Structure 1
Amino acid sequence: MTKLEQIKKIYFIGIGGIGMSALARYFMFRGARVSGYDRTETPLTKALVVEGIPVHYTADMEALPKDVDVVVYTPAIPASQEELVYYREHGYEVVKRSDVLQWITESSFNICVGGTHGKTTISTMVAHLLRHSEFGCNAFLGGISANYQTNFWSSEKNTAVIEADEYDRSFLKLVPDIAVITAMDPDHLDIYGTPEEVENAFIQFAGKIKPGGCLISKYGLSRGEELKAPSHITYSFDNNNADVYVTSLRVEEGAYIYNIKARGWQLENIKLLMGGLHNVENSIAAITVAKQLGISDDKIKAAVAAFRGVKRRFEYYLPEMHQTAPVLIDDYAHHPEELKALITGVRSLYGSQKCTVVFQPHLFSRTKDLAREFAESLDLADEVILLPIYPARELPVEGVTSNLIAGYMQRADKKLLAKEEMLTYLAEHKPGLVVMAGAGDIDALVLPVKQVLMQTAVE
């Protein structure tokens, strides 16, 4: 009996996390009794409850299930959390999310998508390609698929598509058959210390690929020549030195139409309805995975045309049907390179139209480490509203506020506003194109902003 077959009752501390909830759904699918704790109720925890997974929001030692086989926690949970302490002190098997993913992947064919940005979109694209084409897969995603309204699905095919998270070096527990590396930019320096250590971790990740496996990486990565794999394919949006790249791109009725040229194959008239040139590049990686699996060209093109993206990845909230203005786009971008790709993608669709970006920095440490880079990316917009930093797991750092980013900005009109002040400002100034970005709780402001913009549009 395998480790997974032994698990009949499982408890998750931090069950509302995007990666944790995918695992909770996986064990529910397998028939295990699943329950968990999180700090706050969210749409995702509400969905889990509807699916039959009990979730509570206050640490309660009396209410804790005592007859569980395994307790899973996320690194975002502090070591002093009462439930975590209880289970550890009472001899339960307590493991990280990455340990469970390791168990799952020990006996399957694994497609693992890693990178400091782009991995959620590409892993969701890959999983969608495999599902839509009827190739089949078990999907463990770091975002909610807009096509299927979930971050997990399963099939009888013993193939797993996994978003490989570099935080806490979790992805080094995976053993890919096919690995994708999108970027190795500095991030999570509170864990790694230096940019070089981030790169070292990705080099190690490439080294985990099984014999006969394949690495698909973005062309031109720093230290990309050190990525060693049994087979290595590079991709790029437009650099013809890469093994796979785009040609003949055009925009038609809000969709990108393009060809892909590769060494030994090409694919013509691909249609992608997801905004952002960076998502065209993301599709190259996903399509290359599908070609490696032998999926037919017709099925690949049909799947890409049917792809509706990922929640909070270039997600449109406005315009709605029969509307022409204003435009509201929500995106999870929380790294300078992600912001740069997001704003550039908006420009590719809307040209010189005035672009207002509402950005909520995520983590004091990331803001401190990358303030200059954030400023350079945000300067690509016309107007920037900076909200206070979302702390997540961190305590405040003296001298580190959103003003640190504003101080380095040179071009865009910038404002530091609280959430309510931001809503008032948008109502008064009636911008026609608003982009909201960040990985904190800014998503809770999207509907209020939508209401403000719709109201100003009819006045």
Structure 2
Amino acid sequence: MNLKELHSVHFIGIGGIGMSALARWFNHVGVPVSGYDRTHSALTALLEAEGMEISFEDSEESIPDRVKDFTSNTLIVWTPAVPKDAVQLRFFQQNGYTLQKRAAVLGMITKEMPTIAVAGTHGKTTASSMIAHLLKHSGKNVAAFLGGVTQNYQSNLILHDEAKDVATVVVEADEFDRSFLQLFPNVAVVTSVDPDHLDIYGDDVHMVEGFREFVNLTSDKGKLYIQANALHKIGETKKSLKVIPYGVNGGKVKAANVRPRAASFFFDYEDEKQVIKDLQLMVPGFHNVENILPAISIALDMGITPKAIKEAVESYKGVKRRFEIWIQEEGRVYIDDYAHHPEEIRAFLSSVRAMYPQSRVTAIFQPHLFTRTRDFAKGFSESLSLADEVILLDIYPARELPIEGVTAGMLLEDIAIDKKSLQTKEGLLEYLNSNQPEVLVTIGAGDIDRLVEPIANWMRSYEN
């Protein structure tokens, strides 16, 4: 299906963050967009304000006539979150329409536009947003589909200028459910390849094979920027690829002279041709310094000057819930992070330690998924031991049913510090009030995000 010849696009489940981004992109390029969702939301209100026709009734009658009347050249995009017996889904399946999941549609877009695809078991949302921002800030025509809401643009979508020359698209390439194998990158970035999603891949060997397959989808004579340790795991790639390993501690591209500060990290960028000194990254963390290295390299490849890159790096504000500093005052600091894998927690807490070497660090962690907690229990306990105190909340199940014997409490024994406890979400603020931490961090990918604002309000209110 040629996207430029589409008559219309209809979304089943249009209110999801990933689906709504696709809907906005199609609307932006001039394709009529309609959709169904079960409930009204801020996102659906935004889509309606941009001129999209949305219904909240799962019926044939609520499907627009232009969709009903044109079976050919009409694309139906659906999400598996919609029940299989949904009326609209059955109608389109039974009447000869082209139906595609979100990942396949992203693949169709990347087939028609020069594409930078960013994969990794962690770091991909930050790295892809950094690439998009450096290009956008420096005046390049860029579109981006991201896995989180950027602070610079307050959106997970960056829209290109249709009136300008051919745009580059930056896509976060998700390994979950092997979605990234639907893409057609010209430039690939791999930030990390650590065991994860073993419920999908079975074991880490098959997961690494999935990443190798993704890398080899890159166009002939394309480029692969890959974190140095990840390259060791993936091994050989197809010979037509130009492979550029990067890392804080080495590779063809590296960060040197990294200097942690309380609100930012300074570093020097070095590749085989040049050095850019004294870059200031306002989103702290050794891992964030590493994540921005491929963004700088890609910007240089695209002709952006070191001066413009330096300005773009300093203006990057980050992604919500990625090392998001809520409070930074003398005697009280509060930082929230989405980390949900042992290596992410290790990187996050190591950076917090470097920023506040004299302070006591209290970490609140909500494990995400029963299978992940079971598979990486020892790793979670080891990485959390970098804090001075650990508070564990119950496991957030997401898509999973409970597994007998798998609880947050199973992590306690191997956490190698004295002050550690299980707390309920309901009793958390009362517990914090009796302890009054100096540097407090919340960690996790579940509904711990609902506690962030109450914790910040509490911390602002208490007296030292």
Residues 364 and 389 in structure 1, CA contact (< 8 A), matched pair in contact too: yes
**Which residue does 1:65 correspond to in 2?**
63
Q: Are the structure 2 counterparts of residues 70 and 400 from structure 1 closer, same or farther at C-alpha, using a change threshold of 3 Å?
A: farther
Q: Does 1:174 pair with 2:172?
A: no
Q: Deviation of residue 327 (structure 1)?
A: 1.2
Q: Does 1:369 pair with 2:365?
A: no
Deviations 1:301-325 (A, max 9, x none): 1100110111111011113xxx434
Q: Which moved more, 1:19-28 or 1:81-90?
A: 81-90
Deviations 1:203-230 (A, max 9, x none): 1111111111100000122424323452
1:217 corresponds, among 219, 226, 238, to 226
**Which residue does 1:231 correspond to in 2?**
242
* Mapping 1:51-450, distance limit 5 Å: 51=50, 60-61=58-59, 64-65=62-63, 67=65, 68=67, 69-75=74-80, 79=84, 84=89, 87-89=92-94, 91-155=96-160, 156=164, 157-221=166-230, 222-228=232-238, 230-239=241-250, 242-252=251-261, 254-319=263-328, 323-411=329-417, 413-450=419-456
Q: Deviation of residue 349 (structure 1)?
A: 0.8
State how far apart, in whole Å, the 2-side matches of 1:395 and 1:160 are: 37
**Which residue does 1:9 correspond to in 2?**
9
Residues 378 and 412 in structure 1, CA contact (< 8 A), matched pair in contact too: no
**Which residue does 2:71 correspond to in 1?**
none
Q: Are the structure 2 counterparts of residues 188 and 251 from structure 1 closer, same or farther at C-alpha, using a change threshold of 3 Å?
A: closer
Deviations 1:257-310 (A, max 9, x none): 211111122211111111111101111121112122222111111100110111
State how far apart, in whole Å, the 1-side matches of 2:54 and 2:385 are: 42
- Letter in structure 1 aligned against 2:2: T
Residues 36 and 58 in structure 2, CA contact (< 8 A), matched pair in contact too: no
Deviations 1:415-457 (A, max 9, x none): 212211112211221112111111111111110111111121x
Q: Deviation of residue 53 (structure 1)?
A: 5.1
**SS of equivalent to 1:353:** coil
Structure 2 residues without counterparts, runs of 5 or longer: 68-73
**SS of equivalent to 2:387:** coil
Q: Are the structure 2 counterparts of residues 106 and 315 from structure 1 closer, same or farther at C-alpha, using a change threshold of 3 Å?
A: same
Q: Deviation of residue 173 (structure 1)?
A: 1.2
Q: Deviation of residue 62 (structure 1)?
A: 6.3
Residues 223 and 242 in structure 2, CA contact (< 8 A), matched pair in contact too: yes
Q: Which moved more, 1:2-11 or 1:420-429?
A: 2-11
Q: Deviation of residue 414 (structure 1)?
A: 2.0
Q: Deviation of residue 197 (structure 1)?
A: 0.7
State how far apart, in whole Å, the 2-side matches of 1:159 and 1:337 are: 31
State how far apart, in whole Å, the 2-side matches of 1:399 and 1:84 are: 39
The count of residues paired between Structure 1 and Structure 2 equals: 450
State how far apart, in whole Å, the 1-side matches of 2:405 and 2:127 are: 36
Q: Deviation of residue 85 (structure 1)?
A: 5.2
Deviations 1:44-87 (A, max 9, x none): 5565455555667x774467536543332335556566764564
Q: Which moved more, 1:212-221 or 1:283-292?
A: 283-292
Residues 193 and 233 in structure 2, CA contact (< 8 A), matched pair in contact too: no
State how far apart, in whole Å, the 2-side matches of 1:4 and 1:48 are: 21
- Note the aligned Cα RMSD (angstroms): 2.4
**Which residue does 1:27 correspond to in 2?**
26
State how far apart, in whole Å, the 2-side matches of 1:371 and 1:80 are: 38
Q: Deviation of residue 102 (structure 1)?
A: 1.1
User: TM (normalized to structure 1)?
Assistant: 0.91
- Letter in structure 2 aligned against 1:225: G
Q: Deviation of residue 135 (structure 1)?
A: 1.5
**SS of equivalent to 1:197:** helix
Q: Are the structure 2 counterparts of residues 9 and 109 from structure 1 closer, same or farther at C-alpha, using a change threshold of 3 Å?
A: closer
Q: Which moved more, 1:384-393 or 1:8-17?
A: 8-17
State how far apart, in whole Å, the 2-side matches of 1:78 and 1:407 are: 41
Q: Which moved more, 1:323-332 or 1:72-81?
A: 72-81
Residues 15 and 24 in structure 1, CA contact (< 8 A), matched pair in contact too: no
- Letter in structure 2 aligned against 1:344: S
Residues 10 and 33 in structure 2, CA contact (< 8 A), matched pair in contact too: yes
State how far apart, in whole Å, the 2-side matches of 1:259 and 1:84 are: 53
Structure 1 residues without counterparts, runs of 5 or longer: none
- Letter in structure 2 aligned against 1:25: R
Q: Deviation of residue 344 (structure 1)?
A: 1.0
**SS of equivalent to 2:390:** strand
User: TM (normalized to structure 2)?
Assistant: 0.90
- Letter in structure 2 aligned against 1:417: Q
**SS of equivalent to 2:121:** coil
Residues 262 and 355 in structure 2, CA contact (< 8 A), matched pair in contact too: no
